[in-house]
Chain A
Amino acid sequence: MNHEKTNILTIRTPEGILFSLRLSGPVNRFLAWIVDLAAIVAISTIVRSLLGIFGLISGDFAMAASILAYFVVSIGYSIVMEWRWRGQTLGKRLFNLRVMDEQGLHLRFSQIVIRNLLRFVDSLPAFYLVGGLSCLISRRAQRLGDVAANTIVVWNPAIPEPDLDQILTDKYNSFRKYPHIEARLRQRVSPQQAGIALQALLRRDELDPVARIELFTSIASHFRRIVEFPQEAIDGISDEQYVRNITDALFRTQPGLLKR
């Protein structure tokens, strides 16, 4: 296992499959904590207002309930939220962070309690300075509470299913008439270059119009330098269509191609 500091934690499943978790840095965590702090203040204020009713019976009792309520909310908020929301609080959910077991397993209740109680040390001397420094030094970006509880905080943005229909369309491709040039193209293009063309097509709708034209012009001119298709194959097609044809040529399985 790599012992250097990294923002990626790789886990190997018993089936031998590797997957990566992206560790969250201290800045994101601090921002999430500010949101949680606001939530704690809001909840405490609401609870105090509700408990104020007891003031009609006894001011002393209302004050005692208020002190206890603030204490319980400030300590219990993160514990309850992380337990109920599987490693997330309101702040963590907003910033796509999640507390996880260091080995990618289920969080246990004791882990959640320990990492939250150890905030008392991590928050020293102010604004989580100890925890922040620990996060920067630790190879798994852990504050002291995370070290003690064997937990990590991962940045876990919701990854939607890619627009696979972009890959699956079966449009006419003028380059198919020239299998020998396509074969030369596949031979000369690296997987990284092919990946760039594919990603550009997959994400084209996310680009603004000018950037989209510039990007496909740039990619098309790059591929034009690698192989040259006859004029009749490229007549009247835009740079974007050119890249689409190139991508189809690169990723399409040829009849008789050996599968290993």
Chain B
Amino acid sequence: MIIDLKKFIVTERQYWSELELVLDKLAKDPEHKADLEAIKRFHYLYQRTSADLGKIMTFSSEPEIRRYLESLVGRAYGEIHETREKAHRLAPGRWFFHTFPQTFRMHVRAFYLVLVIMVAGCIFGGLAISLDPDSKEDLMPFPQLRVDPEERVAREESVDKDRLHGGKASFSSYLMTHNTKVSIFAMALGMTWGIGTAVLLFSNGVMLGAVVLDYILAGQTEFLFGWLLPHGAVEIPAILLAGQAGMVLAGALIGRGGSVPLTRRLREISGDLVTLISGVAIMLVWAGFIEAFFSQYHEPVIPSEVKTAGGCGIRILLTLFLWKSGRHNML
């Protein structure tokens, strides 16, 4: 096509400038709501500039105008051709009581998989500590866990002052942030086709199994449950849910047997991943509070039976929440 460049520019530049103004306005104020007439005008300007780009493409000696028009069309394209459903208005209550548990159940097979992996780790850790007590140093990376259980119980139950006095809030916030980081990491490792997530959960399982068996073999089962259950009833499922998110991501990456392209598979689960990891963060905030303000107090301050019963109660409520909440609205 031969075009009269001068005439073309004289006629069209007003439309390009107008489109650029609209795009600049949108960039400065993303929340701007235009009326119908303005939207129709914006659409017209986009189509006209697109057509101009199509014409200038055939005019190989005009790269600068082409680049300029490409940048305008590229910016306008994202605004005009957004066909995916817009996010709904934020409704935290509905999200927490409906969307979060529904998403958990939608991907429950991934949850069962990570549960099996973690239980396998627990069994391995338990067997290792019972068959080879000297492996304690290798199985428990944190020095405070390596202390002899009887010695620790005697020390904890003999203290007559609040050893966390003046440090509970900072200890709690440390636990929240640390565990949330580990959870995000468990989800992100889904990008290793789930191998990294599986290794992380298995190693956590090994540590947990070793600690549990160490206390049981030392005859400190009651102390163990009173210490671990109140916060572990939420913290351990939270880590499992983070692993579930990792496996959902891995499943979308692998996409076994399906003909759906990778980009679409990943697009379909992106909202679910954010829902799961956000739910995990909330659970870990709760667990952090309980661990700092409740779990660290033992007999005689708080009887072990009370702590164990409290932990069991929380665990039952969490199970009911994840399996039942929002069920009547399931599609």
Contacts and interface: CB of A to CB of B under 8 A. Distances in A.
Given A111-B270, A161-B68, A195-B61, A19 B73 contact: yes
Contacts of B17: 161
A147 B191 contact: yes
A110 B9 contact: no
Contacts of B51: 15, 17
B277 interface: yes
B169 interface: yes
Contacts, number: 180
Nearest to B30: A86
B166 A68 contact: no
Contacts of B185: 120-121
A150 B271 CA distance: 12
Given A63-B169, A260-B2, A108 B77 contact: no
Nearest to A17: B50
A121 B188 contact: yes
Interface residues of B, dominant DSSP? helix
A194 to B, nearest CB: 4
Nearest to B12: A164
A34 interface: no
A84 B30 CA distance: 7
A251 interface: yes
B170 A253 contact: no
B54 A17 contact: yes
Interface string A42-56: 000000000000000
A60 B13 contact: no
B166 A60 contact: yes
A101 B54 CA distance: 23
Interface in A24-82: 58-61, 63-65, 67-68, 71, 75
A182 to B, nearest CB: 15
B275 to A, nearest CB: 9
A191 interface: yes
B173 interface: yes
Interface in A214-248: none
18 contacts: A15-B47, A15-B51, A15-B54, A18-B57, A59-B166, A75-B184, A86-B30, A106-B79, A108-B87, A108-B270, A110-B273, A117-B187, A119-B188, A121-B189, A148-B191, A164-B9, A164-B13, A198-B62
